[in-house]
Amino acid sequence: MDSGTLMTVFVFYCIHDVMKAEKAFKDSGIPIDIIPVPRQVSSDCGMAVSLEEEYKIRAQDILVEHNIEIKGVYKRLSSNEWVIDT
């Protein structure tokens, strides 16, 4: 994914949920990347799902359908700052 693209990152409670989300998104045709959780978001080690912002609403709907709990949703601003996305 292009570094200039607005990105949304979903953080989960465990790696198992990351893997379930990855499968659900790929099965639904949503292009994603699995990335380390950005340090600005959490000091915890772990993985997160990154996707283009345009897919955020659809991705949230898929997570609800699959009963996958989200720990947090973050957006990368053009300044490379991460903020909580509502």
Q: Domain boundaries in the chain? A: 7-84
| Fold (topology level) of 7-84 | Alpha-Beta Plaits (3.30.70)
Instruction: Report the candidate in 22, 77, 81, 79 with the shortest Cα–Cα distance to residue 47.
Output: 22
3 state SS for 41-79: CCCCCCEEEEEEHHHHHHHHHHHHHCCCCEEEEEEECCC
Instruction: Report the candidate in 35, 43, 1, 32 with the shortest Cα–Cα distance to residue 15.
Output: 35
Looking at residue 57, its pLDDT comes to 96
Looking at residue 4, its pLDDT comes to 58
pLDDT < 70 positions in the chain: 1-5, 45, 86
